[in-house]
Structure 1
Amino acid sequence: MFYYVLKYVLLGPALRLMFRPRIEGLEHIPEDGAAIVAGNHLSFSDHFLMPAMLTRRITFLAKQEYFTGPGIKGRLIAGFFRSAGQIPVDRSGRNAAQAAISEGLGVLSKDELLGIYPEGTRSHDGRLYKGRVGVAAMAIKAQVKVIPCAMVGTFELQPPGRKIPKLGRVTIRFGEPLDFTRFAGMDNEKAALRAVTDEIMYSILKLSGQEYVDRYATDVKAELEKSRKEGGSQDKAA
């Protein structure tokens, strides 16, 4: 119930006023049945903006850190995400990835919409990064279609680190559903998982017009953080 209160009373109207979203390709979202909506991830506001524009309820796999923050603020954020029906995902290893896939398959088994960001994290620079194969594993195992989605403009209005978004206009584009039934029974084959994931990411790329980087965003972020720390240590030594 809280999901719909957020959508139609509390958050939805405010988001429409703040972002003035233009929606393209909404007809590609099925009226019923299971499907995966796979999108790029540029801003914290993506979590709320796209779901607010859909008639159907959509459940997202959200990073576990949103549910484990310290203090009153952390408990409020965790309560918010749980009340909105979002699922925490532990991103710390292979077993965690399998648990996330199981959670996603549980959503799909109930003929619901599942939302996922294949990059696994927000883009820190507005570019599109290599997709993780979990989305492919779920699409093949559940034999459901994948609707690519591109958020355009949210990075400029609320890039990572900015708490309050600027006023502006964003575009949300949904592409034609992707059918991967030809890969049935191949959800454990690495080549098939990578081929499906790359096809999904290419579809997102065509919708978003972003620059593509054939590396995982988490690896690039880790390198940047390491360089920042080493640079800080050198400055102190000097």
Structure 2
Amino acid sequence: MLYRLMKYVLLGPLLRLLWPTKVSGAENLPASGGAILAGNHLAVADSFFMPLYVRRKVTFPAKSEYFTEKGVKGRLKKWFFSGLGQIPIDRSGGSAAQAALDTAIRVLREGHLLGIYPEGTRSPDGRLYKGKTGVARIALQAGVPVVPVVTIGTDKVNPIGSKMWRPRRLEVRFGKPLDFSRYEGLAGDRFIERSITDEIMYALMELSGQEYVDIYAAKAKELAAAEAAGVRPEVPPQPSGVDADRVPETKAS
């Protein structure tokens, strides 16, 4: 109820009015059943605009801290993030990474849509970076298709570090669903998961037209920060099979 209130009455109409958006490929969205919406990640605004043009609710797992802060501010944050379709990740039973995976798989098995950003963090420069394999493991374990989706222009509306959103025409493109049922039962195979993730990232590259960079966005940010500080760090070789962190980002960061 709160999600519908935010989307159709409070926040949604305002976003549609101030930021006109061209939408293509909406027919590629499944009418029912679980599916992953795997997107590029240019700005915090991605999590506002993309779900706006999906008829079904899109769920983004998020840190439980967003829902447990005390006081009036805490209640407002809980109300706001719940209204955006985000649900808290319960980390009490183990690591944050496993909690994120478990939460995502549960949402999908219940027949819902799950929003994921495979890059793990926002692009620092508008390019598309290497995806983390958590998206592949979730898709395999839940047995659901992956729909690539890109938002274009949000980095101009909401540049990193900006406090005010700027006027700009946007575009949201939904690609054809990717079916990985041929890999059923192979969740946990690092080479299969990397192959699936690379296929998803290739689809996002084609859909968005972004330049692809074969390192993680987090590493690119580290290198940029070091260069700004006058340091020249050595770039370690990227592992061919195992990701340092399998868990993809599922909310704006």
Q: Which TM bucket (shorter chain)?
A: 0.7 to 0.9
> Equivalent residue of 2:162, what SS?
coil
Q: Does 1:31 align with 2:31?
A: yes
**C-alpha distance in structure 1 between counterparts of 2:73 and 2:44, whole Å:** 16
Contact 1:97–1:134 (Cα < 8 Å) also in 2: no
Q: What are the ranges of 5 or more consecutive residues in structure 2 without an aligned counterpart?
A: 232-253
Partner of 1:3: 3
Q: What are the ranges of 5 or more consecutive residues in structure 1 without an aligned counterpart?
A: 232-238
Change (3 A) 1:140 1:215: same
1:181 maps to amino acid: S
2:155 maps to amino acid: F
Partner of 1:217: 217
Change (3 A) 1:66 1:3: same
**C-alpha distance in structure 1 between counterparts of 2:161 and 2:72, whole Å:** 20
CA-to-aligned-CA distance 1:95-143 (integer Å, 9 cap, x gap): 3222111100010111111111111111121111111111100111111
C-alpha deviation, 1:221, in angstroms: 1.5
> Equivalent residue of 2:98, what SS?
helix
1:98 maps to amino acid: Q
**C-alpha distance in structure 1 between counterparts of 2:168 and 2:59, whole Å:** 26
**C-alpha distance in structure 1 between counterparts of 2:147 and 2:109, whole Å:** 17
Q: Does 1:19 align with 2:19?
A: yes
> Equivalent residue of 1:144, what SS?
coil
Partner of 1:108: 108
**C-alpha distance in structure 2 between counterparts of 1:4 and 1:14, whole Å:** 14
Partner of 1:46: 46
**C-alpha distance in structure 1 between counterparts of 2:27 and 2:188, whole Å:** 32
Change (3 A) 1:89 1:208: farther
The count of corresponding residues between Structure 1 and Structure 2 is: 229
1:4 maps to amino acid: R
C-alpha deviation, 1:74, in angstroms: 6.3
Contact 1:124–1:159 (Cα < 8 Å) also in 2: no
**C-alpha distance in structure 1 between counterparts of 2:51 and 2:208, whole Å:** 18
C-alpha deviation, 1:64, in angstroms: 6.0
2:149 maps to amino acid: C
Contact 1:23–1:173 (Cα < 8 Å) also in 2: yes
2:10 maps to amino acid: L
Give the TM-score taking structure 2 as reference length: 0.83
Contact 1:90–1:97 (Cα < 8 Å) also in 2: no
Question: Superposed, which structure 2 residues align to 1:199-218 within 5 Å?
Answer: 199-218=199-218
**C-alpha distance in structure 2 between counterparts of 1:45 and 1:77, whole Å:** 17
C-alpha deviation, 1:165, in angstroms: 1.4
**C-alpha distance in structure 2 between counterparts of 1:222 and 1:65, whole Å:** 25
**C-alpha distance in structure 2 between counterparts of 1:226 and 1:70, whole Å:** 37
Change (3 A) 1:162 1:115: same
2:56 maps to amino acid: R
2:121 maps to amino acid: T
Superposition CA RMSD, Å: 2.4
> Equivalent residue of 1:200, what SS?
helix
Change (3 A) 1:202 1:21: same
**C-alpha distance in structure 1 between counterparts of 2:130 and 2:153, whole Å:** 20
Change (3 A) 1:77 1:122: farther
Partner of 2:157: 157
Give the TM-score taking structure 1 as reference length: 0.88
Q: Relative to structure 2, which stretch is displaced further, 151-160 or 187-196?
A: 151-160
